[in-house]
Amino acid sequence: MNFEAFLSPTDSSHSLLQRYQACKAMAKGYAESKKTDKSRLAHGRAFCAEVIEAYWEEVAQRHRTTMKVKPRPEGLPRLTEDVRRVAHSIGGLIAQFPVEDAGYLVGSIYTVTLPSELRSELGAFYTPPPLVARLLDLAEEAGFDFTYGRVIDPACGGGAFLAPVALRMVDRAKGASADWLLKSLGKRLRGIEIDPFAAWMTRVLLEAAIMPLCVKAKRRLADVVVVADALEPQDIGEFDLVIGNPPYGRISLPEPLRKRYARSLFGHANLYGLFTDLALRLTKSGGVVAYLTPTSFLGGQYFKALRTLLTQEAAPVAFDFVADRNGVFDNVLQETLLTTYLKKEKITPVTVSVLVPQGLNTARIEHIGKVKIDVSGAPWILPRNASDADFLQSLSKMSTRLSDLGYSVSTGPLVWNRHKDQLMHKATAKSLPLVWAESVTSQGFKYSAERRNHLPYVEVRERQQHLITNRSCVLVQRTTSKEQSRRLMAALLPQEFLNKHRGVVVENHLNMVTPQAGASLQVSPATVTALLNSEVVDRAFRCISGSVAVSAYELNAIPMPSFRDLRRIDLMVNNKAPADMIEREIALCYGVR
């Protein structure tokens, strides 16, 4: 294939987006051809610099200006002539898209050239245009005024947000002179970026987006981007809107930063949680926070402190769940969410919707309804579709939990890769069956150890008696995804199996729902299993869970039927009533007919 002809504007056999995807694949392949991460990073940046400069030249030519691109960062390697030509052709191709798309298109090429470890460290994932446009709409609906308000993106990446914000500010300033408006943008826009190269990208792409204004005013936009770690303390003032797609991923914090963000931490720190805490610090009273983040903060014990903080310092206004996550971000499997918060004291019902991306520049919004948010730090129970709105009304009236039934939830005690030398192919006098997550199936407990690295037995040594389980309990898989037909997969670990083998060892990809010692059980373990495997409880869990993890904390948060209803279900389970009859009875307890 003649690649330059393929990129040409005269090529009508492929869509712009198809040609762009081919470009991104070529950029990735070029970066991956480098033998070391250091070389890959340097050449990837050099390739993207050529793309950006070519894009600038194309935009400048379109607006008939000789305005020069800001100098690229120093120290980048020189590319061969053929690679430079391809990069320049890609820059020209990106210039054919709407100007507000450039930050995403260039940023996405940049991220695929990064070494995977650095990309994870930076948490760099660029935001598609329809999500940016929707988040700007939500910010405006929450009360932000694009005519006068000050805005900061504390992790501005390649300008995916700052450029569209600037364009919306320009659009709202009807009648203002170009010179006044350019000065206004210089005072009202701020970006912080830890990656110097990405900061340069933002500066260039932001100025390219408002180039007609610069040409008319005969002056450049002031530098509004600071190269810094936004999480470190700095005096940058307060803003009417804090917006962005903060980086994701766990991070080990130095003690000073852990103390600074202690109010929002429980256990390990996640970058986007820290940036949410930071947003609250940067927002004026009456201001708006508008973020795109994973949904994992909605549930789980690790985010309890953050949820409490969000309702203490602000009022959640709107949540948009992003559908079809695999088609939105490269290599991101987490469910994502657009959120807006208004920094005020009064908590009001939150508007919940689903955003369905439809191509590069459009999305469909499906409104679900309004719900009340728990202010205690407990998981936020939110509908995922319109039919869930009434369902949540029933859940809100159900106060019983697993702990009230005499059960506790814990994680399987064996972390297998810490005990590799104890795993065995055959049973011995000192070994016990090792129960893996694969033993929990839709047909119940079926002991199995056939997957890769799974051995059927483990030797239990002295002082490891705590690993042994010898009492029947309910096993629940700890990792499932929303795409699966069932998020909750539970099976009863039979007492007969335990007696036969003198106990078992359960590994940590399973939760154990165990009768509490000395507790008066309200229902049998078999009934708990039936509840967790029911369609209606699975539906309730999906309204609680925000991640692929099925945590003990979230299992404990699932509303359970009343004791009176449970006794009726327990009787049906113990008398071996048909499964569909039990399923219907459980559904009725949740108001589903």
Residue from 58, 67, 64 nearest 87 by CA: 58
Calpha distance 34→295 (Å, rounded): 35
pLDDT class for 359, splitting at 50, 70, 90?
A: confident
How high is the pLDDT of residue 474? 98
Could you tell me which of 463, 485, 473, 328 has the C-alpha nearest to residue 407? 473
Least confident among 440-444, 483-487, 563-567, 583-587: 483-487
- 8 A C-beta contact, residue 313 and residue 281: no
Average pLDDT over residues 579-591: 96
Q: Which of the four pLDDT bands, split at 50, 70 and 90, describes residue 324?
A: low
Q: How much of the chain, in percent, has pLDDT values that exceed 70?
A: 94
Could you identify the residue written with the tokens 């935001």?
Answer: 127
pLDDT value of residue 13:
47
**Burial of 393 by CB count in 10 Å (0-12 exposed, 13-18 middle, 19+ buried)?**
exposed
Q: Residue 533: what pLDDT?
A: 97
Distance CA(529)–CA(532), nearest Å, equals 5
Q: In what order do the strands lie in the sheet with 510-515?
A: 407-411, 510-515, 473-477, 490-493
SS3 content of the chain, % helix, strand, coil (to 5): 45, 20, 40
Strand ranges in 323-373 using DSSP code E only, listed in sequence order: 336-342, 350-357, 363-371
Ranking 120-124, 173-177, 282-286 by mean pLDDT, the lowest is 120-124
Rounded CA-CA distance 446/370 in Å is 42
The Cα–Cα gap between 75 and 80 comes to 16
Given a cut of 90, whether residue 26 has pLDDT beyond it is: no
Query: In this model, does residue 33 exceed pLDDT 80?
Result: yes
Backbone angles phi, psi at 576, to 5 degrees: 55, 45
Q: For 367-382, what is each residue's pLDDT tens digit?
A: 999 999 989 888 999 9
User: Which CATH code for domain 402-589?
Assistant: 3.90.220.10
β-bridge pairing 189-193 and 225-227: parallel
State yes or no: pLDDT of 332 exceeds 70. Answer: no
When pLDDT is cut at 50, 70 and 90, the band that residue 24 belongs to is: confident
Which of 279, 282, 258 has the alpha carbon at shortest distance from 269?
A: 258
What band does 120 get if pLDDT is binned at 50, 70 and 90? low
Tokens encoding 181: 């408006």
Burial of 100 (0-12, 13-18, 19+ CB in 10 A): buried
pLDDT at residue 326, as a whole number: 47
Give the model's pLDDT for residue 17.
85
The percentage of the chain sitting over the pLDDT mark of 90, rounded to a whole number, equals 73
4 — pLDDT class (breaks 50, 70, 90): low
Mean pLDDT to the nearest integer, 358-365: 87
User: What pLDDT does 28 receive?
Assistant: 87
Average pLDDT (166-187) is 94
**Is residue 334 very low, low, confident or very high in pLDDT (cuts 50, 70, 90)?**
low
Span 423-452, pLDDT tens digits: 999 999 999 999 999 999 999 999 999 999
pLDDT per position as a tens digit, 288-304: 999 999 999 999 889 99
Lowest-confidence pick of 114-118, 133-137, 517-521:
114-118
User: What number is the average pLDDT over the span 82-100?
Assistant: 92
CA 550 to chain centre: 16
Is pLDDT above 80 for 323?
Answer: yes
**Residue linked to tokens 């990446």:** 157
Count the Cβ atoms, other than its own, within 10 Å of residue 323.
Answer: 18
Separation CA 478–CA 300 (nearest Å): 12
Average pLDDT, integer, range 187-207: 95
State residue 14's pLDDT score. 65
Confidence of residue 9 (pLDDT cuts 50, 70, 90): low
Would you state the structure tokens that stand for residue 241, as one six-digit string?
């809107």
- Residue 6 has a pLDDT of 52
> Is a pLDDT exceeding 80 seen at residue 124?
no
Q: Could you give the 3-state DSSP secondary structure of residue 370?
A: strand
Summary mean pLDDT of the chain: 91
Q: Is 137 exposed, middle or buried (CB count within 10 Å of its CB: 0-12, 13-18, 19+)?
A: middle
Task: Name the pLDDT band for 182 (thresholds 50, 70, 90).
Answer: very high
11 pLDDT band, cuts 50/70/90, is: low
Q: What's the pLDDT tens digit per position in 445-502?
A: 999 999 998 999 999 999 999 999 999 999 999 998 877 889 999 999 999 999 999 9
Name the residue among 564, 571, 573, 562 with its Cα closest to residue 530.
573
